[in-house]
Amino acid sequence: MTIDIGYTERNTLTQIQALLAPLMLMQIGSADTITAYSIEDNDLGVRQVFSMMMQVVIMFYILGRSWTDFKSNSGFTYADFFQYDEAVKFLERLEGGNELPDAKLILRAYCRFCWLKPHLENWHPSPTSNVDLQKLSIEDCEYEEVFRITDSELGFMYDVLYTKAPVVYPGLVLRFISFISLITTLCGFSVLFKDGFVYNIGAGMIHYVLITCVILEVYQILKLPFSDWAIVQMIRHYETFPILWPLLRSLAPTSATWIRWSNKMGQFNLIDFCLCKNQNFSRIKILRHWGLDMKLRKQLNLGQIEVHPKVKELVVKELREVEKIRKQDKDEFTKGGEWTIQRYQKELELNEGSRLIQRLTTTITKRPFDKNIVIWFITTNIFSNHPDYEDTTEASQMAAIMRISDYMMYLLAVRSHVLSTTTADILFQYCSKTLQMWLTRQK
């Protein structure tokens, strides 16, 4: 008996070409390829469906010319369609509740996130239109819970505007079916081409590509449960799939330990910046030419600390005071901070002719916000070193005020766009130069 080696090689090459078509479709059609998904992009779904149709036509054209064995292609083809169905599927609305306190906070954050979407085109008011607004309120929450709810709420907003999370998590079932199809294809390929690896390098390359796809898919699936979106989906479906309840009970408490950006706050001390004479990079001509000397000095003086519980408590307390005043008299917020002066005038029992009240009025109402930040920073540093106000304990109110002051100076120095001011850089250079000259004379 003779073996036509040429025919065998041609047949193997044809089967490999037939596998490349669904492999290409699966990788292009995956929801993980959506890198800048935006809920406001009304044509995204239409473009995705149109793209799928064009790629399916190309895939069937390749399969029609290279089809040799249905067994070696069917698993991959099924995986392709499940991947595309997952990518096109939109985010469904939330139903049901939960009894876990940590999951309850995430659920409240998600409801508040949905409630803030009426400004979006094609927004549908469910599910929060039928929800009691009192359930969305955070007035009865502790300050730690307020920060956690805000963390999750901002996370949902960021994911919807800049990531693919809204189209990934609703298609978990389809994703698992697609993964099983991918595993089946890998096993079938290994069996059918077990002799082809010896004399055909293409078969070996495809085998390694399949293994890489499986590893990437396993990694992506393992990462899916560790997010607020996953917890919301578990809350929706744990009654239908009871197996999700133990997973929800284990993941919800650990969600409090997940890293979130609002657990950190930048710090910049203008006085320390001015005292660092050894960081004068303006002598380096190339840095001075490109304007990098000041930026480099700023970066070397930046700091980052965790938000202390006392800071959270102080911020939440002040925000609730502001909300209370807003409900009493909405016109107060159109008077450039006069409500602040009236508030502390009442607390300190001072009259309008008081020197302190007059200076506060000048500072708050007659100066721009960026200048107020510098004045506030210098004032807090003076008071922190005063014998009557000095308190070195970590949880003191003065320490919390100093952290907030350094954070506001951090925004002014390196994140001025957050403050919506156009003169921050000029003001910073002037203040740093003036303060440095004053500190030099004091020595």
User: For residues 212 and 222, what is the distance between their CA atoms, to the nearest angstrom?
Assistant: 15
Which of 237, 244, 263, 229 lies closest to 156 in space, CA to CA?
Answer: 229
Q: Which helix (H) or strand (E) holds 302?
A: strand 302-306
Residue 264 has pLDDT above 60, yes or no: yes
pLDDT at residue 408, rounded to an integer = 92
Q: Which of 30-34, 99-103, 173-177 has the highest mean pLDDT?
A: 173-177
Q: What is the mean pLDDT of residues 54-78?
A: 56
CA-based torsion, 220, 226, 228, 229: positive or negative: positive
As a three-state string, the secondary structure of 50-69 is: HHHHHHHHHHHHHHHHHCCC
- What percentage of the chain carries pLDDT values higher than 90? 3
Q: What are phi and psi of 303, to 5 degrees?
A: -135, 165
Tens-place pLDDT, residues 79-93:
555 554 544 443 333
Find where tokens 């390829």 sit.
33
Contacts of 256 (CB under 8 A, 6+ apart): 102, 148
User: For residues 224 and 164, what is the distance between their CA atoms, to the nearest angstrom?
Assistant: 12
pLDDT at residue 251, rounded to an integer = 82
Residue 41 has pLDDT above 50, yes or no: no
Q: 311 or 420: which carries more pLDDT confidence?
A: 311
Task: Looking at 224-337, list the stretches that DSSP marks H as alpha helix, in order from N- to C-terminal side.
Answer: 228-237, 244-254, 270-275, 285-289, 293-300, 309-328
Q: 241 or 47: which carries more pLDDT confidence?
A: 241
Q: Is the distance from CB of 50 to CB of 105 less than 8 angstroms? A: no
Q: What is the chain's mean pLDDT, rounded?
A: 72
**pLDDT category, 410, cuts 50, 70, 90?**
very high
Which of 23, 384, 94, 69 lies closest to 236 in space, CA to CA?
Answer: 94
Q: What is the mean pLDDT of residues 294-314?
A: 85
User: For residues 45 and 39, what is the distance between their CA atoms, to the nearest angstrom?
Assistant: 10
Q: Is the distance from CB of 93 to CB of 126 less than 8 angstroms? A: yes
pLDDT at residue 406, rounded to an integer = 93
Residue 33 has pLDDT above 80, yes or no: no
Phi-psi region of 90 (alpha: psi -120 to 50; beta: other; left: phi over 0): beta
pLDDT at residue 301, rounded to an integer = 85
Distances (CA, A) of 79 to 13, 30, 182: 22, 10, 6
Find where tokens 């389809």 sit.
174
pLDDT at residue 134, rounded to an integer = 63
Task: Looking at 290-368, list the stretches that DSSP marks H as alpha helix, in order from N- to C-terminal side.
Answer: 293-300, 309-328, 338-348, 355-365
Tens-place pLDDT, residues 191-207:
877 766 666 777 777 77
Tens-place pLDDT, residues 136-171:
778 888 888 888 888 888 888 888 777 767 666 666
pLDDT at residue 98, rounded to an integer = 41
pLDDT at residue 87, rounded to an integer = 45
pLDDT at residue 259, rounded to an integer = 72
Q: Which of 34-43, 171-180, 336-345, 420-429 has the highest mean pLDDT?
A: 420-429
Tens-place pLDDT, residues 430-441:
888 888 888 888
